[in-house]
Amino acid sequence: MINIVLFGPPGSGKGTQAQNLIEKFNLKQVSTGDLFRFNMKNDTELGKLAKSYIDKGELVPDQVTTDMLIDELRKPTDTNGFIFDGYPRTVAQTEALERIVKEELNDKIDICLSLIVDDQILVERLLKRGETSGRTDDSNEEIIQNRIKEYYAKTAEVAELYKQQGKYIEVNGVGGIDEISEKLFAEVEKIK
C-alpha cells in the first residue's frame, strides 16, 4: 500500500492533484472538505455543525473531523492505498492519523507531499474558483483570508512533524497542472 498526505494551504491545488494521483497509482482520495460538503448538502447533523465553522473559514473541531475520517477508512476499497487531502490540519490530527492508519489499515503514512504556493496567488485562485464552485467559503475575501490565517496558525506546523520523520517533500505548486503532477508522480515512484 501507498499512503500519501497531500499537504498545502487552501487553493494550493490539493484536490486537483489528488485526482491525477489516484488515477496514476490506483488510490482512494479521502478529502475531509469533500466529506463535510457532502454532509452539508444532505443537511445532516454533522453537516450543520461543520457549516457553522466552514462559513467562517475556521477549522472544524478535531474530534468530529477525525471520527468522520475513521468512518470513511472503514468502508471497503480495493485500491492500492490512500491520499489524504485536507487532513491532517493540526498537530493532534497528525498524531491521530498515524494511530488510525495503524489501527484500521495496519499500515503507515509513507510520504507528505507539500504544494508550495504564494499567499497572493492562493487568494486569486480561491476567488476565481468561487465564481463557479458554489462554495460559500471561496466567494468572500474575508473568509479566504481567515482560512489562510488558520493554515498558518494551526496547520503549517504539521509540516514540521513530517520533516522530523524524513517524509516531507516540497513541490512547487505554481505552473501547469500536468507539470506539477509529473513532479508528484516522480516523488511517489521513488518510494514505491
Question: From the annotation, which residues make up the binding site for AMP?
Answer: 32, 37, 58-60, 86-89, 93, 135, 147
Compare residues 7 and 168 and give the one whose CB is closer to ligand AMP.
Answer: 7
The nearest distance, CB 106 to ligand AMP, in angstroms, is 23
108 annotated active-site:
no
Q: In whole angstroms, how far apart are CA 68 and each of 30, 73, 119, 155?
A: 10, 9, 29, 19
Instruction: For residue 87, state whether it binds ligand AMP (rule: CB under 6 A).
Output: yes
Give 39-59 as a DSSP string. Answer: HHHTT-HHHHHHHHHHTTTPP
Residues paired with residue 116 on neighbouring β-strands, in sequence order: 172
Query: In the set 7, 36, 82, 168, which binds ligand AMP (CB under 6 A)?
Result: 36
Contact characters 152-191, ligand AMP, x per CB under 6 A: ----------------------------------------
Query: Any idea what the Cα angle at residue 172 is, between residues 114 and 133, rounded to 5°?
Result: 75
Closest CA to 71 of 26, 18, 30, 33: 30
Instruction: For residue 32, state whether it binds ligand AMP (rule: CB under 6 A).
Output: yes
74 annotated active-site:
no
Q: Which residue has the cell 462554495?
A: 135
125 annotated active-site:
no
Q: For residues 137 and 112, what is the distance between their CA atoms, to the nearest angstrom? A: 26
The nearest distance, CB 103 to ligand AMP, in angstroms, is 18
Contact residues: ligand AMP, CB under 6 A: 10, 32-33, 36, 53-54, 57-60, 65, 86-87, 89, 93, 137, 147
